[in-house]
Amino acid sequence: MFNKILIANRGEIAVRIIRACREMGISTVAVYSDIDKDSLHVQLADETICIGPAKARDSYLKMDRILSAAISTGADAIHPGFGFLSESPKFAELCMKCNIVFIGPSARVIERMGNKQEARNTMIKARVPVVPGTTNPVNSAEEGLKIAKEIGYPLIIKASSGGGGKGMRIVHSSDKFISSFKTASQEARNAFGDDSLYIEKYIQNARHIEVQILADNYGNTVHLGERDCSIQRRHQKLIEEAPAYGISEELRKEMGLTAIKAAQSISYNNAGTVEFILDKDNRYYFIEMNTRLQVEHGVTEMVTGIDIVKEQILIASGNKLKIKQEDISIKGHAIECRINAESPRNNFLPYPGQVTNLHMPGGCGVRIDSALYHSYRIPSTYDSLIAKVLVHDESREEAIKKMRGALGEIIIEGIETNVDFLYDIMNDTDYCKGRINTGFVESFLDEARLEKIC
């Protein structure tokens, strides 16, 4: 087992990982940028090292500085969390070369799944159902237009190196294709330095269902059930739950086994998530694999009782999975709401600043994953996720009630947040009845706008 782990991340996820390490008797090293010197993760870690100025590319993305920090503090392993370097095959490779364990899958696996187009092709070979679409990068808008005719509208243009919803455009008709293709290409080039695009059929009124898997270094793979992450804004998840409402035991089992097949086909190791789109006829299609811890891992932990971060650490240190598939059962229902520092009144514009008053909820079945504290100044440099509120109860109905109570109790002053917006969703009839799909937030916002006008 490791003696010391360096956490190459910040915010609530760094705090989450530090807590797991503490429980396991592993000491921790926090790295931080100038602007994060007063952050909670810095205060909670056993050792701390400043790795540069605020901009992520000068600090949290600086591989050499993070590796030097690990070497100089004698860390045996690095946990990358999510975002930043968590999906960088180069970083995973460099860790290995420096004799430091990267807590995640091998560089080769990250690379194979990192290119979404290649991942699709790999899954086709493994006989995992994928959304109908292209198997080669589309070289020009004109070529794309021809392919689009074959696939049929609506379709979705995606960046091969994509993530975070960037470089993605839904196209409903041929007259919009060329301009959408060009914007997607531009966006992909700016965000990822790679403008290669591919095209998929756009599945309307679909749900985003993903399966959590754990795989050790000896070929043992289990799945921990699914999460429904259909409540999204601009392709970014906002509310997640486990299990997915209305999914039959049979479908759950089938999707779980498909996720295991997908993982085993690439000799996947450590924790990972296989993402699917589920259409209204309950047909499911692979969209991508995330080769890291997910933001929403907590809902799975609540319904399975399995600590995914601890399992990641155990697997990375060479332990065999102790959990067998037949030991995993889903108990009750869990929901997560992502609290962002943003202004819903102002088109959800980020709203960083100093927290002048803070009260977070608690009680049976309520979990808060956050790096906030009273008087903390939220920097504008990083993403706007500031806390996650998770609840667990015996049914979805009870969990929704608990979430309403928890959100209603929150006080965060000094900044704007989306807490009231999330509270309104928890009171929405369609949401409560489980009538959800990836278009939910958009229609919810349209209705809210309509109410304002009327």
Q: Which of 69, 75, 95, 203 binds ligand ADP (CB under 6 A)?
A: 203
- Is 206 a residue that touches ligand ADP (CB under 6 A)? yes
Stretch of 27-35, 161-169, 219-227, 383-391 lying at the interface with ligand ADP (CB under 6 A): 161-169
- Is 152 a residue that touches ligand ADP (CB under 6 A)? no
- Catalytic annotation present for 19: no
- Is 441 a residue that touches ligand ADP (CB under 6 A)? no
3-state SS, one letter per residue, for the chain? CCCEEEECCCHHHHHHHHHHHHHCCCEEEEEEEHHHCCCHHHHHCCEEEEEECCCHHHCCCCHHHHHHHHHHHCCCEEECCCCCCCCCHHHHHHHHHCCCEECCCCHHHHHHHHCHHHHHHHHHHCCCCECCECCCCECCHHHHHHHHHHHCCCEEEEECCCCCCCCCEEECCHHHHHHHHHHHHHHHHHHHCCCCEEEEECCCCCEEEEEEEEECCCCCEEEEEEEEEEEEECCEEEEEEECCCCCCHHHHHHHHHHHHHHHHHCCCCEEEEEEEEECCCCCEEEEEEECCCCCCHHHHHHHHCCCHHHHHHHHHCCCCCCCCHHHCCCCCEEEEEEEECEEHHHCCEECCEECCEEECCCCCCEEEEECCCCCCEECCCCCCEEEEEEEEECCHHHHHHHHHHHHHHCEEECCCCCHHHHHHHHCCHHHHCCCCCCCHHHHHHHHHHHHHHC
Give me the catalytic one of 227, 252, 292, 367.
292
Nearer to ligand ADP, 104 or 361 (CB): 104
CA 392 remoteness from chain centre: 20
- Is 213 a residue that touches ligand ADP (CB under 6 A)? no
- Is 165 a residue that touches ligand ADP (CB under 6 A)? yes
- Is 263 a residue that touches ligand ADP (CB under 6 A)? no
Stretch of 196-204, 239-247, 305-313, 379-387 lying at the interface with ligand ADP (CB under 6 A): 196-204
- Is 171 a residue that touches ligand ADP (CB under 6 A)? no
Q: Minimal distance in Å, beta carbon 48 to ligand ADP?
A: 32
Q: Minimal distance in Å, beta carbon 179 to ligand ADP?
A: 20
Q: Which of 66, 101, 131, 157 binds ligand ADP (CB under 6 A)?
A: 131
Bond before 137 cis per omega within 30 degrees = no
- Is 187 a residue that touches ligand ADP (CB under 6 A)? no
- Is 393 a residue that touches ligand ADP (CB under 6 A)? no
Give the Cα separation of 104 and 101 in Å (integer). Answer: 9
Stretch of 17-25, 55-63, 86-94, 159-167 lying at the interface with ligand ADP (CB under 6 A): 159-167
Q: Which of 195, 216, 241, 275 binds ligand ADP (CB under 6 A)?
A: 275
- Is 232 a residue that touches ligand ADP (CB under 6 A)? yes
- Compute how many residues bind ligand ADP; rule: CB under 6 A: 19
Stretch of 197-205, 266-274, 324-332, 419-427 lying at the interface with ligand ADP (CB under 6 A): 197-205
Q: Which of 12, 36, 241, 288 binds ligand ADP (CB under 6 A)?
A: 288
Q: Which of 10, 188, 438, 444 binds ligand ADP (CB under 6 A)?
A: 438
Give the residues across from 391 on adjacent strands. Answer: 335, 366
- Is 436 a residue that touches ligand ADP (CB under 6 A)? no
- Is 132 a residue that touches ligand ADP (CB under 6 A)? no
Nearer to ligand ADP, 116 or 396 (CB): 116
Chain residues in the site for ligand ADP (CB under 6 A): 131, 156, 162-165, 168, 200, 202-203, 206, 208, 232, 235, 275, 277, 287-288, 438
Which residues participate in catalysis according to the annotation? 292
